[in-house]
Amino acid sequence: MMIGKAGAATTAISTADADSLTVRGRDLCGDLMGSMSFTSYFFLLLTGREPTEDQRYFLDVLLVAIAEHGLVPTNQVARMTLASDPSALQGAVAAGILGCGSVVLGTAQYCADFLVAARERIGDGDADEGLEEMIGEIRARGDKVPGFGHPLHKPRDPRAERIFELAHERGVAGAHIALAQKSAAAVEAVWGKPLTLNVSMAIAATLLDLDFPPKIVKGIPILARTASLLAHLAEEQETPIGFLMAARAEEAIAYAGDKE
């Protein structure tokens, strides 16, 4: 019994036979290997299009920007998973990626959804007034505006600033980056204090201005953090700290339950 709605029984990504592999209509060995960077290949895989120079350049910028940020939860859980089973590299990577959610690492997708909704709602109207109204509704619901706030980077996220700086320098900053930057003032007006515009908002705005598929924006931090996880896991094999972190957690957290 089939569950869910079926699509056409086709794929446009790749096919293979005894002598060749074809990816997005290109011969893997003859056309792609040795002539296309992995960043460009990722864009081709995802969209079916070869990236423009700006798309490739900024995809590289954003992957570098979000790949690493120290011993964040995703890296901690991956290290502790590998410490528990040193043979399960793939399991440790998966454990880290599973932490890509609404609080850590995965917020670029929520930022993209916010920017798309804002652009649809505001249209050619007053962006400042429209954003303040939209953000006011978010606060009234008790929610947070995605892409604002950071526990470490205050009052500015240097990664976001650098992304926007490069986007303006190269002339790719468009409607979504403008909305993102205008949102900072609206957030401050609604919350009564400035909140850091963080790297997730900058990533989403830049990708959208470069015609990246909105629904797969979360794929950028996932791909980037996979590289970082592998670095942490390689280090964990040589200089293990997974069990040390677990021990420190035991020391730091007090038991608050009943005792017999």
3-state DSSP assignment of residue 92: helix
Residues 6+ apart with CB under 8 A from 86: 237
pLDDT at 126: 85
Give me the CATH number covering residue 126. Answer: 1.10.230.10
112-165: pLDDT as tens digits? 999 999 999 998 788 989 999 999 999 999 999 999 999 899 999 999 999 999
Task: Kindly state whether residues 97 and 117 are assigned to the same domain.
Answer: no
Task: Kindly state whether residues 112 and 212 are assigned to the same domain.
Answer: yes
Task: Kindly state whether residues 211 and 233 are assigned to the same domain.
Answer: no
User: Has residue 16 been placed in a domain?
Assistant: no
Task: Kindly state whether residues 208 and 112 are assigned to the same domain.
Answer: yes
**0.85 surpassed by pTM:** yes
Are 200 and 107 in contact by the 8 Å Cβ rule? The answer is: yes
User: Has residue 56 been placed in a domain?
Assistant: yes
The percent of residues above 90 in pLDDT, for the chain, comes to 89
